[in-house]
Amino acid sequence: MSQLSDRNKAAKRVTLIGAALDGVLGLMKIVAGIFAHSAALIADGIHSLSDLFTDFLVIFVFHIADEEPDESHPWGHARFETMATVILGTILIAVAGALALESAQHFFNATDIPTPTWPALLVALISVAAKEWIFRYTLAAGKKLKSDLLIANAWHSRSDALSSIVVLVGVAGAMLGWIWLDLLAAIAVALLVGKIGWDLTWNSIKQLVDTALPDDQVAALRDTVLEVDGIQDVHSFKTRRMGSKVLLEMHLQVNPRCSASEGHWLGDMAVYQLKKRFDDLGEVIFHVDTFDDEPQNVCRILPARQQILATLNNATPDLLPWQHSEIQLFYSHDHVDIELQLTEARLAALSHQQLTCEALHQHFEQTLSQHEWLGKLRIWRAA
C-alpha cells in the first residue's frame, strides 16, 4: 500500500472513532438535558451531533484526496483537503458566533434560564472528559500525518469540549444562583473558538492562492540544494503547499561546459537530497541553466544549431561540409561559444589543402567577426 493510502487509512480510523464518540455523547446529552431540565445541555447535545457532519466530511474528503492524479487533476487531489479545512474553519467561526450571540442575549435576561438538576452536571462532566480525550487523540494524529484537516477537526472537538465546560460551569453556577457566570464563560469560549476557526481558514486560503513557505523553510530548502557538488547557484525558487505536501520549482545553475545529461543528473541528485531531508516534500520541478537567467527574464534570440552549421559551411566553401558530430555549442544569454572537433578525416582533408589548424582558426575569426552572437571559437584535435 502506498504512503498516501496509509495516511488516508490512519486519518479515517481516527475520524471514525471521533464520530462514534460524538454520536453517543450527543444522544446522551439530549436525553439527560430533557430529564434534568437543562436547555444548555440539550443545545450542547445538538452541537455534538452536528460534529457528525464534519466527521463524515473529513472521511469523504480524505477519500477524494487519496485518488491518483488524473487528466483533470494532474497535480492530484490534495487541494480538496485544503478546501475542506476552509469549510471546517468557517463552521468553527459560525459555531463561535452563534454561541457568543446566544450568550450575549441571555446575559441581560438571565432569569429565564431554568434551574437544572444534578444529572445534567454529571453528563456535562463526562462530555468534557470524553471530548478532551478525542481532541488530544485527533490532534496528535493530525500533527503526525501533517494534515491541517485533521487538526481542524480536532479543534472542532475541542470547541465541543469547551462548550461542555460552559454547560458544566453554567449548571453549577445556576444551581448556586450565579447564572451570569456561565454566560460570561460562554462568550470567552466563543472568542477562542472563533480565533481557532479564523487561523485554520486563513492558513488554508493562503495555500489555495499558492502562498510561499516561510523564509526560514525556504532557506533550508535552498541550502540543501546548494550542498550538491556541481550546482553553482539556484534561482527562480518557488514554493507552495498543497494539502500536506510542499511543491517546489527551481532553476539550477551549473557549469556552462556541463553536458545536458550531467546537468540533469545534478538536478536528480538535488531532488534526492531534498526528499531525504524533508519528508513533506512532494513534486519537485527543476530547470537546468548554464547562467543566471533570472535578471534578464528572457534570452536574446540566438541562432539554432542548423543555422550555425550553415554559417560555418558558408565560411569554408572549399572544405568538406561540417557535420553535426564535429560541433559543440555552448549557449549563454547573449552569445554562443563554438568548439570544432577535428577528426582524422578532417585533419587529412586540411593537410591535403595545406591548411593548418591555426590558419583555419584565423580564417573563421575574420569571416565570422560580423556575427554579434559569436562568442569564443575553439578548434581542437580529437584523440
Question: What is the per-residue pLDDT for 295?
Answer: 63
Report the pLDDT value the prediction gives residue 26, as an integer from 0 to 100.
82
Q: 3-state DSSP call for residue 303?
A: coil
Could you tell me if 253 and 291 are in contact, meaning their C-beta atoms sit under 8 angstroms apart? yes
What CATH class has 305-381?
alpha beta
What is the reported pLDDT for 197? 78
Residue pair 358/380 in contact by the 8 Å Cβ criterion: no
DSSP reduced 3-state for 250: strand
The gap from C-alpha 143 to its chain's centroid, in whole angstroms, comes to 15
pLDDT score for 195: 79
pLDDT recorded at residue 125:
87
Residues in contact with 291: Cβ distance below 8 Å, sequence separation at least 6, in sequence order: 253, 256, 332, 333
Instruction: Give the total residue count for the chain.
Output: 383
- For the chain, give every domain's residue range: 3-208, 215-289, 305-381
> In the prediction, which pLDDT does 188 show?
67
The architecture in CATH of the region 3-208 reads Up-down Bundle (1.20)
| 3-state class (DSSP) for residue 274 | helix
Q: Quote the cell numbers at residue 68.
A: 491518483
Distances (CA, A) of 253 to 47, 239, 240, 301, 332: 56, 18, 22, 20, 12
User: Nearest CA to 240 among 82, 84, 90?
Assistant: 82
CA dihedral 127, 129, 133, 135 (to 10 degrees): 60
Alpha-carbon dihedral 132, 139, 96, 45, rounded to 10 degrees: -40
Listing DSSP states for 90-115 in one string gives HHHHHHHHHHHHHHHHHHT-GGGSPP
Note the CATH number of domain 215-289.
3.30.70.1350
Between CA 234 and CA 92 the distance in angstroms is 42
Q: Is the pTM here over 0.85, yes or no?
A: no
Per-residue pLDDT of the chain (383 residues; tens, 9 = 90+): 445 566 667 777 888 888 888 888 888 888 887 887 776 676 677 667 766 766 776 677 666 766 676 777 666 666 777 777 788 788 878 877 887 787 677 666 655 555 667 787 888 888 888 888 888 988 888 888 777 778 877 887 777 777 777 777 777 776 777 766 656 666 666 776 677 778 878 888 887 777 788 889 999 999 999 999 999 999 889 988 876 678 899 999 999 888 889 999 999 999 999 999 987 788 899 999 888 776 655 556 889 999 999 999 898 887 888 888 888 898 887 889 999 888 887 888 788 877 788 888 888 888 888 898 998 899 887 65
Cβ atoms 376, 256 nearer than 8 A: no
Residue 121's pLDDT is what? 81
C-alpha cell at 315: 565560411
Specify whether the CB–CB gap between 58 and 84 falls below 8 A: yes
